Structure 1
Amino acid sequence: MKQLIIILFLVVIGCRNETKSDEEIDETVYDMWGDFTQVHPEFKKDELPESWYFHDNKEDANRLADLVMKGKKKASSGLYLWYKEANADLPKAGTKSIITNFDGTAQAIIKITKVDTIPFNQISKEYAAMDMGTNIEPLKKWKKAHWDFFANTMKQGGNEPTEKILVVCERFETIWPKKQ
């Protein structure tokens, strides 16, 4: 059961893919970080940030990466329960990540600006719009998409979702878009 929880955690924290070895990381990730540190030499000594894609399928991963590059998607959500069960630290403001498409090609560098833990039933329309990348019924869309995803994975781990489940809400800014 504990292994299932850890696997689910790796899959669902922001719908990120699993950690890759150096051989599995696409060359574009290194290139993007190199370009970024060339312009921002104060980060040259920093380690290469984690690279990952949103969601668990190609269509959504690529669509969400595109929304990040367009500056429309500015947030990501995961369940507090997954962090707790995996004994993992919550994300921290200032952390950088390289967002890729589903195939691992670097698309943008983001930096977390704020992290909150909020009950599911208290997510705001403004936050939902930032996470969904749209202003058209963002809260309704956020609740549907996230409830379905959270409930399914919680049930697989033997937990029952409630409207009061805690959501880790990461706000971020795109600090380096892919060069077009």
Structure 2
Amino acid sequence: MRHFTILLFLMLISCKSETKTETENEIDTTVYEMWNSYTKSNPESQTNELPESWYFHMNKEDANRLAQLTLNGKKQASSGLYSWYEEANADLPKVGTKHIITDFDGKAQAIIAIIKVDTIPFNEISEAYAELDMGTKNEALKKWRKAHWDFFASAMEERGEKPTEKMLIVCERFKTIWTKKE
């Protein structure tokens, strides 16, 4: 059961969520359509299997807002707790890995590719990184710290842990490489 809980937390890292029921988790046809469109235009990717698809955050408003920021290239990073990877004995994200970002309803919005992965203490996150993760330049670091502290604290509390200023954050930078066609 502990491993299941850890894996669930890994799914929630970076404010990602897959908390819908099994029926609701069926992959939307737009995900397949987007991947097929991408691989048709990028034949070197045709041998790759369908990337994981998911949405940011845990509610419709935030998931859709963050998908839109990704779609328009403003959101270019995502953050998770290093301890979740350690506890699950999972590899850190790999440069080059692709993901399909969806809205809350599972409709494909964009394909992203990881371009850089760093592990940084919470209190050393820079303003520049926070801008990439939050998709805004307006008090980005202040907003990043509040949103991520609250999210991590809530998740850690369920495990009887408390966040610290020195907790390690897995910082994934990505680029949006394909977007939905209107």
Q: Give the TM-score taking structure 1 as reference length.
A: 0.94
In structure 2, the residue matched to 1:104 is: 106
Find the residue that maps to 2:112 and give its secondary structure: strand
Match of 1:83 in 2: 85
- Between the aligned partners of 2:15 and 2:62, the Cα distance in structure 1 is 12
Q: Residues 16-165 of structure 1: matches in 2 within 5 Å?
A: 16-17=17-18, 24-165=26-167
| Counterpart-to-counterpart distance in 1, 2:139 and 2:76 | 16
Letter in 2 for 1:147: W
User: 1:14, CA displacement in angstroms?
Assistant: 4.2
Q: Could you state the TM-score of these two structures normalised by the residue count of structure 2? A: 0.93
Aligned position for 2:9: 8
Q: CA deviation at 1:92?
A: 0.6
How far does residue 82 in structure 1 lie from its aligned partner after superposition?
0.8
- Per-residue CA deviations over 1:78-105 (Å, capped at 9, x if unaligned) read 0001111111111010000000000000
Structure 1: segments with no counterpart, 5+ residues: none
Where structure 2 has 5 or more consecutive residues not aligned to the other structure, the ranges are none
Q: Percent identity?
A: 63
Structure 2 CA distance for aligned equivalents of residues 5 and 49 of structure 1 = 22
Query: How many residues end up aligned between the 2 structures?
Result: 179
Where 1:94 maps in the other structure, the secondary structure is coil
